[in-house]
Amino acid sequence: MKRTTITLPDDLALELDREARRRNVSASEVVREALRSRLGAVGERTKRHIPFAALGNSGYATTGRDSEQTLEELGFPYRRR
């Protein structure tokens, strides 16, 4: 586990301490859970879902292969370097 130091405004630090006491856990545990929730991670090794990862997916298997021809047809001259 990696140790990280953060600076909190006094009011947020007070809320963090109250929440840790209310739940009978450490402040570090409250912060870890909040970060996991905010970052979309469930466990320590869970990969986060990236909603835009397939944004450029055309649905055609030949898109990459035909990209030069497509660019030329659209009026964008393409030259290999």
pLDDT in tens, 22-62: 999 999 999 999 998 888 766 556 566 666 666 667 777 78
Amino acid at 4: T
pLDDT band at 21 (very low <50, low <70, confident <90, very high): very high
Q: Is 39 exposed, middle or buried (0-12, 13-18, 19+ CB in 10 A)?
A: exposed
* Phi, psi (degrees; rounded to nearest 5) at 25: -135, 170
Predicted confidence at residue 1, as pLDDT, reads 87
Gyration radius from the chain CA atoms: 24
Residue ranges of domains in the chain: 8-46
Q: How far apart are CA 28 and CA 35, in angstroms?
A: 10
Neighbours of 31 (CB within 10 A): 16
pTM of this structure: 0.52
Predicted confidence at residue 44, as pLDDT, reads 54
pLDDT band at 11 (very low <50, low <70, confident <90, very high): very high
Tokens of 68: 């030069």
Q: Are 35 and 24 in contact (CB under 8 A)?
A: no
